[in-house]
Amino acid sequence: MNDVRKPWGRWATLGLAVVALLVGQLAGLAALAVYYGASLGRLPDFSGDGVAISLIIFVSTPIEVALLILFAQWRGASWADYLGYTLPRKADVIIGVSAVIGLIVVGNLVSWVLGRIIVTPFQLNIYRTAEASGSLPLLWLWLGVVVATPIGEESLFRGFLFRGWLTGPRDAWPVILVTAALWAVIHVQYDWYVIAQVFAFGVLLGWLRWASGSTLLTMLLHALINFEGMLETAIDLKWFN
């Protein structure tokens, strides 16, 4: 039996991660096409629709995570250990929450100084369209962004990829930086400035994943980041739009 210290190799890890991501996303897009009765060519029209985004999240995330669990089990290891699904220490939670709050504050101050908007048009659009569809679609958007998305993305980037690429102490910072960069570039809905902010959060999450050994911690912190973003969006729409 292979144990958790012998993960998939670097290229196999990347290939399997891409498979999990693509299969999940394609399933989400297929569900979107069926739900709206739309052709594949019309799917980009729903890129700013909060209901459509929620549907994609809730279809793609379980499939992606299930595949990652399956790939982890193929190594003969505990999938929970492989993906870093271990409870963090209380001190790690306190440090992580404090660091994330600090980075949010610094990011907002930098945006204010540079004259950059804090809430992006994409955030406003998905929130506004979900809210226009009723309280239940808005609730599903909150759950999708704050709960489901952190589970899926952290399982992939700070879980599966991190485990497969971290073969020794010298790999720590290269893996932290590469996973943060890959996580940032999938956020194609944002401009370069916001993608740079996502990268900064990714570096912090990666370091905390390495220091704590817990992907559950990064899920919690990712959820906190997304919750703050949704809250800022709600406030912006209520008071400034």
Assess whether pLDDT exceeds 80 at residue 77.
no
Tell me phi and psi for residue 7, to 5 degrees.
-75, 180
pLDDT tens for 86-136 read 999 999 999 999 999 999 999 999 999 999 989 999 999 999 999 999 999
Assess whether pLDDT exceeds 60 at residue 1.
no
Contact partners, residue 151, CB within 8 Å, separation at least 6: 61, 65, 219
Residue 3 banded pLDDT, cuts 50, 70, 90 = very low
What pLDDT sits at residue 208?
97
Rounded Cα distance, 120 and 124, in Å: 6
Taking the alpha carbons at both ends of the chain, their separation in whole angstroms is 59
pTM (global) more than 0.95: no
pLDDT tens for 29-65 read 999 888 888 766 666 667 788 999 999 999 999 999 9
